[in-house]
Amino acid sequence: MKIQKVLTLAAPVIFSMTLLNPTAVAAQSRFDEQFVSYPTYSGNDLELLVDNSGTHFRLWSPKAQEARVNLYDNGHTGSPYQTLSMKADRANGTWTASVPEKLYGKFYTFQIMADGKWKDETPGVWAKAVGVNGKRAAIIDLAKTDPEGWATDKGPAVKNFSDVIVYEMHHRDMSMHPSSGIANKGKFLALTEEGTVSPLGEKTGIDHLKELGITHVHILPSYDYNSVDEMNLQNNTYNWGYDPQNYNAPEGSYSTNPSDPETRIREMKEMVKALHDAGIGVIMDVVYNHTAENDGSNFELTAPGYYHRHWDDGKYSDASGCGNETASDRQQMRDYIINSTKYWADEYHIDGFRFDLMAIHDTETMNEVAAELKKINPDIFVYGEGWTAGDSPLAVDRRALKENVSKMKDIAVFSDDLRDAVKGHYSNAEDRGFATGKPGNEETVKIGIVAATPHPQVDYKKGNNSKFPYAESPEMIVNYVSCHDDLSLTDKLHKSMAGEPEKNMLEAAKLAQTIVFTSQGTPFMFAGEEIFRDKKGVHNSYKSPDSINAIDWNNKTKYHDQFEYYKGLTALRKAHPAFRMTSADDIARHLVFDKIDSAKTPNLISYSLRDHANGDSWNEIKLVFNGASEPQTVNIKKGDWKIVAKDGKISPAEGLGTTKGGKITLAPYSALILARE
């Protein structure tokens, strides 16, 4: 069966409630105990090494009865021109074979014998280049895939992770629509094209990203995945890519020639370089938590049973909701995740990693990942989904859960607290949130504003999702109101505000993102929301066609006011460190909420960032959020205030005028931002 990603970002309250009680969880399964004694090997010559003495293969497979390498002239057809028997190196569980020639241009697969039978061919788990559809590994000279200037290529410097502004995008969403004006539609190369415009003359693609002012793109899975047939690209099949096949090679359908193993590598590097040249970092979505196939996965075909977790009866456990889950708590799998991310950071200059269903991994692994990546580049940003999509044999206290984030150093988690409180519950389309007029979410929004850190004015017991300050530092939190999963913000507003004029939805969108962009922690947005993109109401659009998923760039003209507002949000955040504090103590000291009785005046939050917070040039910043469908009036302390944002307009540098304070009325669904020197 082909497993598809069905459950994704659904921070399932039902699981986190039960899983928080460690006694309710089964011990590591008895079936899995057999793997503890396996010898391990993580040398950098795993599977393939080409040097002056020839081509060398080393497959890790401790329990194989025999192992062999099939050599091919071609990436997907024909029989092997030669098959090499491999020799066991029992001390470290590997099998080796060598030939004296450099086999550049050739392809290979491994096969192992288990229970007296040869298993299916596999490119192994460490293929860094593959033939079309990833069935055979390719032998290439990686140095030849480097674009011009690669040796000096570098991502943007990141002083603190709270300085990062994340823009989450899928390659096809960005460029497939005819209005993108981009030639290489749906390809890595799309983001290398400068000067592209919509039919109405608005910048698109990489120029649009520069204009918007985000600091990092977060690209949906870009390693080789399973679901798109790379030999039938004319069918234009769409998939998010949460069905991993080869973790260490780029996806072929995003290249201009999937049959040439070098092309996808070179083109992905060209994309990274173009973004770096534009001052934009590249974060990759990684899905080490499960594989597309169970018995047919490369993990299972090389070391049966080892890389996945199981229940006592030997059945695959399935915390991913996609049929299986991997076993980061086992040394060879842990090393695999560490070495694979290091490879992407080294070879592709990747600036960050977003871990899908990160809580399937253990905190120890995640800490080692972050520590090892720091050695390559201290600016690498690691964050993930601090939840699972099902139960796991891994003990709850070991899981890289949101609630365990304080056990992890230099790792951030998504705040589903802010997400659901601002716009309404992710799975209930009609449910409204703070920014769309539903009372009762004020305290949870405040949890998001202080980045889930301890704060004397936040009552965590009233939180909708989490009941305690789980983050020790704001750099552990990624704030957002929507992402690729579930309804886009635009669709959510259309569903939950049905019957209201679209203008109200546009204002609510601005308010929702104002909360995200001014909150402590790292802001994260879904591509195209700045021009009110939708997904035509489709919730789980993982394999919906481009007609659902592609961004219509004509929206940039239609919703130009929206785009200008988002530009204002990125500019405001980048100019003012008060929104980017780096310690919980600073937040507790400088962020002061005004006393509002939410029972009497719901959907109103007001707070100050005081005393030049985090070295800000502004002495005090006042933020007031009115999520009600009616205007609300607040009393602002007397002073010489600059109006930074009001009633759906924003102007961080020049301002929208001044006020002496006193009574100020906010339009429905709007934010007020004032600043004084």
CB of 667 to Ca ion, least distance (A): 49
Tell me which residue has its CB nearest to Ca ion. Answer: 224
Q: Which candidate in 202, 224, 293, 356 is catalytic?
A: 356
Residue closer to Ca ion by CB (options 173, 224) is: 224
Residue closer to Ca ion by CB (options 62, 123) is: 123
Q: Which candidate in 385, 442, 443, 534 is catalytic?
A: 385
Residue closer to Ca ion by CB (options 265, 643) is: 265
Q: By C-alpha distance, which of 293, 384, 366, 355 is closest to 328?
A: 366
Q: How far is CA 519 from CA 4, 339, 392, 504, in A?
A: 34, 34, 33, 23
The residue to which tokens 């007020």 are assigned = 672
Cα end-to-end span (Å), the chain:
63
Number of other residues whose CB lies within 10 A of the CB of residue 154: 13
Q: By C-alpha distance, which of 142, 99, 303, 347 is closest to 108?
A: 99
CB of 133 to Ca ion, least distance (A): 6
Distance CA 415, CA 385 (A): 9
Q: Are 47 and 32 in contact (CB under 8 A)?
A: no
Residue closer to Ca ion by CB (options 252, 602) is: 252
Q: Are 506 and 564 in contact (CB under 8 A)?
A: no
Q: What are phi and psi of 598, to 5 degrees?
A: -65, -20
Which 310-329 residues touch Ca ion, going by CB under 5 A? none
Residue closer to Ca ion by CB (options 269, 309) is: 269
Structure tokens at 297: 């996965």
Q: Are 112 and 61 in contact (CB under 8 A)?
A: yes
Number of other residues whose CB lies within 10 A of the CB of residue 378: 10
Q: By C-alpha distance, which of 353, 357, 392 is closest to 373?
A: 353
Q: Is 356 a catalytic residue?
A: yes
CB of 262 to Ca ion, least distance (A): 16
Burial of 396 (0-12, 13-18, 19+ CB in 10 A): buried
3-state secondary structure 485-521: CCCCHHHHHHHHCCCCCHHHHHHHHHHHHHHHHHCCC
Residue closer to Ca ion by CB (options 130, 209) is: 130
Residue closer to Ca ion by CB (options 76, 649) is: 76
Residue closer to Ca ion by CB (options 224, 486) is: 224
Q: Are strands 632-636 and 117-118 parallel, antiparallel or unpaired?
A: unpaired
Q: By C-alpha distance, which of 639, 634, 673 is closest to 659?
A: 639
Q: Are 571 and 653 in contact (CB under 8 A)?
A: yes
Instruction: Count Cα atoms within 13 angstroms, Cβ side, for 640.
Output: 3
Distance CA 509, CA 521 (A): 20
Q: Are 223 and 240 in contact (CB under 8 A)?
A: no
Establish if 293 lies at the interface with Ca ion (CB under 5 A). Answer: no
Establish if 224 lies at the interface with Ca ion (CB under 5 A). Answer: yes
Distance CA 158, CA 160 (A): 6
Contact letters (x/-) for Ca ion, 247-286, by CB under 5 A? -----x----------------------------------
Residue closer to Ca ion by CB (options 131, 181) is: 131
Contact letters (x/-) for Ca ion, 170-209, by CB under 5 A? ----------------------------------------
Q: Report H helices in 31-178.
A: 171-175
Q: Are 607 and 592 in contact (CB under 8 A)?
A: yes
Establish if 243 lies at the interface with Ca ion (CB under 5 A). Answer: no
Q: How far is CA 64 from CA 123, 125, 290, 391, 461, in A?
A: 16, 15, 23, 30, 53
Q: Are 512 and 422 in contact (CB under 8 A)?
A: yes
Residue closer to Ca ion by CB (options 126, 625) is: 126
CB of 111 to Ca ion, least distance (A): 21
Q: Is 385 a catalytic residue?
A: yes
CB of 192 to Ca ion, least distance (A): 21
The residue to which tokens 């209201």 are assigned = 500
Distance CA 289, CA 392 (A): 11
CB of 208 to Ca ion, least distance (A): 27
Distance CA 662, CA 660 (A): 7
Residue closer to Ca ion by CB (options 263, 598) is: 263
CB of 126 to Ca ion, least distance (A): 17
CB of 602 to Ca ion, least distance (A): 49
Distance CA 396, CA 404 (A): 9
Residue closer to Ca ion by CB (options 252, 386) is: 252
CB of 224 to Ca ion, least distance (A): 4
Q: How far is CA 673 from CA 562, 582, 594, 626, 636, in A?
A: 17, 22, 14, 11, 11
Q: What are phi and psi of 650, to 5 degrees?
A: -145, 140
Instruction: Strands of 289-360 (E only): list them.
Output: 352-355
Using CB under 5 A, which of the segments 9-17, 221-229, 431-439, 477-485 binds Ca ion? 221-229
Distance CA 652, CA 570 (A): 10
Q: DSSP letters of 423-436?
A: H--TT-TT---GGG
Residue closer to Ca ion by CB (options 251, 475) is: 251
> How many residues does the structure list for the chain?
677
CB of 251 to Ca ion, least distance (A): 5
CB of 7 to Ca ion, least distance (A): 22
CB of 131 to Ca ion, least distance (A): 11
Residues in contact with Ca ion, total (CB under 5 A)? 2
CB of 320 to Ca ion, least distance (A): 19
The residues of the shown chain that bind Ca ion, judged by CB under 5 A, are 224, 252
Q: Which residues have a catalytic role annotated?
A: 356, 385
